[in-house]
């Protein structure tokens, strides 16, 4: 019998992990803000969404889950009209897995309703990523033919993977408003 697997989003401090099927990037640390706290186009420079942690949680009867990867549709930047230099960014590590261990989870912060803190900001950035020389990367480069390695751990019992950490960057020439839905996919090996 295959494992039962759910995608989870972490929010708050300490983290509360919620099983999700949809999410919305916004300017608050909330998994389901509805139309509240939309991402705001800046007058100049960049604004950011609050960063998001996504992981898979697994249970049931399985022998091993490993090689956890993540990818996008590859067209987020253009279909979301994020402006010059705008993109969905994904955090990277200099070496090893790019996913964030649950013990290194960090609550997203920023100016509520205006902008999140950039996860590479030297003061307010994500502690697990801000001092890395790698990244962030444009999430559009991670597609089904080139997925991001999130977690190389070999799991043999119920638990949860490391997290993909991502955030939206909007430029001054971005288009404000509702964006089309996009699919993010976790892929893993199971025996």
The residue assigned the tokens 């190389």 is 152
Question: Which residues of the chain fall below pLDDT 70?
Answer: 1
At 104 the three-state DSSP class reads helix
Which residues have C-beta within 8 Å of that of residue 159, sequence separation ≥ 6? 57, 58
Decide: 66 and 5 in contact? Cβ < 8 Å: no
The model scores a pTM over 0.85: yes
Check residue 135 and give its pLDDT. Answer: 87
Check residue 150 and give its pLDDT. Answer: 98
Decide: 76 and 90 in contact? Cβ < 8 Å: no
Decide: 135 and 92 in contact? Cβ < 8 Å: yes
Express each pLDDT in 91-123 by its tens digit: 999 999 999 999 999 999 999 999 999 999 999
37 burial type by CB count under 10 A (0-12 exposed, 13-18 middle, 19+ buried)? buried
Pairwise CA distance, residues 55 & 130, whole Å: 20
For the record, the structure tokens of 72 come out as: 């996008």
How many CB atoms lie under 10 A from the CB of residue 181?
A: 9
Residue 100's nearest CA partner among 161, 185, 27 is 161
Check residue 1 and give its pLDDT. Answer: 64
Q: Is 144 left (phi over 0), alpha (psi -120 to 50) or beta?
A: alpha
Check residue 32 and give its pLDDT. Answer: 86
């Amino acid at each position: 019998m295959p494992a039962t697997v759910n995608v989870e989003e972490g929010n708050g401090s300490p983290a509360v992990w919620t099983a999700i099927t949809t999410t919305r990037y916004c300017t608050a640390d909330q998994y389901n803000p509805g139309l509240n706290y939309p991402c705001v186009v800046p007058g100049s420079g960049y604004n950011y969404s609050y960063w998001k942690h996504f992981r898979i949680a697994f249970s049931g009867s399985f022998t091993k889950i490993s090689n956890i990867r993540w990818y996008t549709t590859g067209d987020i930047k253009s279909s979301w009209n994020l402006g010059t230099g705008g993109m969905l960014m994904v955090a990277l590590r200099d070496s090893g897995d790019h996913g964030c261990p649950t013990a290194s989870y960090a609550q997203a912060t920023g100016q509520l309703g205006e902008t999140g803190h950039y996860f590479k900001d030297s003061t307010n950035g994500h502690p697990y990523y801000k001092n890395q020389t790698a990244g962030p990367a444009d999430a559009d480069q991670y597609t089904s033919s080139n997925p991001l390695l999130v977690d190389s751990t070999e799991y043999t019992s119920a638990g949860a993977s490391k997290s993909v950490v991502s955030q939206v960057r909007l430029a001054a020439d971005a288009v404000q408003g509702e964006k089309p839905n996009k699919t993010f996919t976790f892929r893993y090996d199971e025996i």
